[in-house]
Every structure is written in structure tokens, then in C-alpha cells.
């Protein structure tokens, strides 16, 4: 048999399969066409820039979050949002900051020990009942995940026990303010049994305050009402202490919380009804509130009914207006101050490259905040006075409608 004649053409070599992931990045680039190399380099640079931008966005300044942590009943004390100094309600704090806590590296290894029952109770309260559409309420995570977030948060700052979780950023500082006020009065303003005149500068100041409340608030509005002076003096000083204490940086004011101002207003509303019924009787009280007498004239009857409805509704409207006025003034004043103080940070967050604008307008915001801060000091005093004055007027009107 004839032997095959060898071919003169080269035998093609089949490359062995190689995992692209094992090829070094530089080798990949060198194996590409020069134009392809440029495109790949641009793609890698874009990916790196995108990752850097994503990291920057995750730490971007958020005014809404800052405003919530300073001017609302926030469950922690934070000078910088996301960096707690003291946590009051661990479950609520973990709920509010759940995305940041779950993104923490410590979340994967966090345990649920000690927080499982608290987290389950918290989730059960939030899922109780139905929503506006009539569907059962749902929670954004499971109790175990919330418990792990609580564990991560407890490692970031000291946390109050569950028994004290009713406190928040505002009520905590106002409680401190009232404790300091009470201690100061007991130590410096208390008279000895044989003392008939004030002694010392502080006692003279408190004496002048008590006389101001008696002569300008109580006597003009409550007939023979000198016995009411301690009550209204205590109300005025408590409101003033809360208002002024909240103007200290980092601190919060309870009068910027509608629940607290509503509690003060409910006290006034209760005294309006109680003292009015006590002085006028349970039946005559409702009719003596009406400023016109009954008449069988059709037009007079219409006016009487209209005024009766308005006067009876005023027993609810007046306390409600008291609560809303004090709350709105405190909230608005603190928000305006925070806007000017954080102006530079807001501009920098919107455009990190505008350093000149953010620094110059940030400095301007701090300068503008100075007169607004002085104005807020005046508002703190005026609002405490107005709340006390209107409370005396409303109670006096119910006790002695004829006056």
C-alpha cells in the first residue's frame, strides 16, 4: 500500500481553554486591539467612579433626617445623624435606622439574645389592625432581623432599658430642665419659717416673677383669684424652662412636641369645665356661657342657637388652639435656625464641587442665624407668657361668665 504524502500546510494549533477570570487584568488589556484597550480602560474608570459616587451618596447630608433627629420626638440623642450618643428606645431607633444598621458589617454576626422579646412586641404593635385599604398591616422586616439591628445599635451607643423607653430626645432634655428648675427653687428660693421678706438676688427675682403673674395674669382675669397664683406661676416657669433649655445646642424642647403641649392644654380644658361647673352648677354652666338671653323672636332664637353652638365648641377649640400655637411656634423657630446653620452642608451635598459657594453661603447662614437665635429667645418668653395668660382668661371666663 502506498504511504500518504505529508501535506505542506501547517497544522492549526487549537488553544487550550483558559478561564478568563484567571487571566491578569494587564494581560487582558494587552491582548486587545488598541482601540478596544481605550474603551475597556474607560469602562473600568467609569465603574470605579460609579462605586465611589455610590459610597458618597450613602453618606450624603440629609436635611430631613437631621431635622427629624433634632426637632421631633426622636428615640436617641444625635449631634450627627447616624451617630447616636445615647439611645432611649432601642426598638424604635432600630426601626427608624434599619437600612443603615442592616448594611453594617456587624449585622451578619449579630445575635438576637436579649432583644427578641422586645422586638417581637414592637412588631406586634405595629402590625395590629388594618391599614387604610382594609388589609392587615405588615412590617418591613421580621422580629429576628429587628432584634439583630437592635444589637448592632446597642454597640454604637449606650441604650436605656426597656422600662425607660418612653423617653425621647425632647422629653428627656425637658425632664432634665424641670429637675434642675425644681432643685434650684428648693435650694435658693425656699424661705425659712421665720423669713417674711426675700433675701438674696435669686429670691428677689422669683418674688418679682410671682408678683408679675399675680398682678398681670391672675387678678385681671380670675375674680378673687390670688389662690391661683402658685399654679400659673409654676406653669409659666415650667414652660419658660422647657423653651429656653431647647435652645441649647444638641438639646431638645418638649414644647416642640404636640403631645406635650396638648397635655398642658388638656389640663387647662379640664380646669375650664371643672371650675365652671363648680362655680355655676352642672346645668346653669352651659347656659351662662351664652352671652345673650333667650327670646322667642325667630331672629333672636337663631342668634341664640348659633352662639350656643359656638360657645360650647369653644370649650374644645380654645385648648386645641393653645396646644397648636405653642407647638407651631417652637417647631418653626427651631427649624428656621437649623436651616440657616446647615445651609452650607445642603449646598455641598447638592454639588460637592461648589466649595466656594458652600463655604461662603454656609458662613452667611451662621451669621444670619445669630439674630434669629436672639429672636427665638424672645419668642420662648412670649409663648410661655401667652399660654399662661390665655389659660387664665379661659378658666376665668368659665368661672365667671358675667365678668
Q: What is the pLDDT of residues 158-214, one digit of tens each?
A: 999 999 999 999 999 999 999 999 999 888 887 777 777 878 888 889 889 999 999
For residues 63-99, one letter each, b for 16 or more C-beta atoms within 10 angstroms of the residue's C-beta and e for the rest, the string is beebbbbbbebbbbbbeebeebeebbbbbbbbbbbbe
Rounded Cα–Cα distance for residues 307 and 75 (Å): 45
13 lies in some domain: no
pLDDT of residue 258: 93
Name the pTM for this structure.
0.78
pLDDT number for residue 59: 52
User: Is residue 73 located within the same domain as residue 182?
Assistant: no
| Residues 353 and 242 placed together within one structural domain of the fold | yes
Which regions of the chain are under pLDDT 70? 1-60, 402-403
pLDDT in tens, 226-268: 999 999 999 999 999 999 998 988 888 899 999 999 999 999 9
Shared-domain flag, residues 242 and 116: no
Q: What pLDDT is attached to residue 237?
A: 95
Asked whether residue 345 is assigned to any structural domain, the reply reads: yes
Q: Are residues 146 and 187 in the same domain?
A: no
Residues 264, 219 within the same domain? yes
Q: Assess if residue 254 is contained within a domain.
A: yes
Bridge partners of residue 298, in order along the sequence: none
Residues 286 and 213 in one domain: yes
The answer to whether position 19 is within a domain reads no
Which cell numbers hold the place of 27? 494581560
- 64, 76, 84, 240, 312 from 335: Cα distances, Å: 10, 18, 20, 19, 35
- Asked if 145 and 173 sit in the same domain, the reply is no
Q: State the pLDDT at residue 372.
A: 94
Residue 207 and residue 354 in one domain = yes
- Give the residue numbers spanning the domain of 216: 169-191+200-399
Residues 207 and 353 both lie in one domain: yes
- Does residue 244 sit in the same domain as residue 295? yes
Domains in the chain, number: 2
Give the pLDDT of residue 316. 94
pLDDT the model gives residue 201: 86
Please tell me whether residues 219 and 329 are part of one structural domain: yes
Amino acid at each position: 500500500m502506498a504511504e500518504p504524502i505529508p501535506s505542506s500546510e501547517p497544522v492549526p494549533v487549537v488553544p487550550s481553554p483558559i478561564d478568563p477570570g484567571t487571566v491578569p487584568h494587564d494581560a487582558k488589556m494587552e491582548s486587545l486591539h488598541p482601540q478596544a484597550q481605550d474603551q475597556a480602560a474607560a469602562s473600568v474608570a467609569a465603574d470605579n467612579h460609579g462605586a465611589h459616587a455610590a459610597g458618597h451618596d450613602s453618606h450624603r447630608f440629609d436635611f430631613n433626617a437631621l431635622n427629624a433627629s433634632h426637632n421631633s420626638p426622636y428615640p436617641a440623642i444625635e449631634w450627627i445623624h447616624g451617630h447616636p450618643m445615647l439611645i432611649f428606645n432601642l426598638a424604635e431607633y432600630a426601626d427608624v435606622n434599619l437600612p443603615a444598621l442592616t448594611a453594617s458589617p456587624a449585622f451578619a454576626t449579630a445575635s438576637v439574645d436579649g432583644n427578641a422579646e422586645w422586638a417581637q412586641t414592637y412588631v406586634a404593635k405595629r402590625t395590629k389592625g388594618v391599614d387604610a385599604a382594609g388589609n392587615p398591616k405588615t412590617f418591613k422586616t421580621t422580629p429576628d432581623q429587628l432584634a439583630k439591628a437592635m444589637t448592632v445599635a446597642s454597640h454604637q451607643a449606650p441604650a436605656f432599658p426597656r422600662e425607660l423607653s418612653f423617653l425621647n430626645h425632647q422629653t428627656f432634655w425637658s425632664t432634665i430642665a424641670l429637675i434642675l428648675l425644681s432643685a434650684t427653687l428648693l435650694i435658693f428660693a425656699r424661705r425659712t419659717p421665720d423669713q417674711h421678706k426675700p433675701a438674696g438676688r435669686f429670691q428677689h427675682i422669683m418674688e418679682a416673677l410671682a408678683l408679675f403673674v399675680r398682678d398681670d395674669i391672675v387678678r385681671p382675669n380670675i375674680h378673687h383669684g390670688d389662690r391661683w397664683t402658685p399654679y400659673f406661676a409654676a406653669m409659666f416657669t415650667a414652660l419658660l424652662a422647657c423653651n429656653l433649655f431647647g435652645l441649647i445646642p444638641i438639646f431638645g424642647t418638649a414644647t416642640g412636641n404636640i403631645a406635650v403641649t396638648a397635655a398642658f392644654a388638656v389640663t387647662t380644658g379640664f380646669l375650664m369645665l371643672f371650675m365652671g361647673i363648680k362655680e355655676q352648677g352642672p346645668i346653669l354652666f352651659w347656659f351662662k356661657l351664652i352671652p345673650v338671653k333667650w327670646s322667642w323672636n325667630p331672629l333672636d332664637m337663631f342668634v341664640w342657637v348659633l352662639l350656643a353652638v359656638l360657645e360650647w365648641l369653644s370649650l374644645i377649640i380654645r385648648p386645641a388652639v393653645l396646644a397648636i400655637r405653642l407647638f407651631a411656634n417652637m417647631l418653626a423657630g427651631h427649624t428656621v435656625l437649623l436651616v440657616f446653620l446647615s445651609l452650607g452642608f445642603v449646598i455641598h451635598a447638592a454639588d460637592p464641587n461648589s466649595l466656594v459657594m458652600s463655604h461662603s453661603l454656609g458662613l452667611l447662614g451662621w451669621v444670619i442665624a445669630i439674630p434669629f437665635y436672639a429672636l427665638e429667645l424672645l419668642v420662648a418668653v412670649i409663648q410661655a407668657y401667652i399660654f399662661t395668660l390665655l389659660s387664665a382668661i379661659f378658666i376665668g371666663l368659665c368661672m365667671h361668665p358675667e365678668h
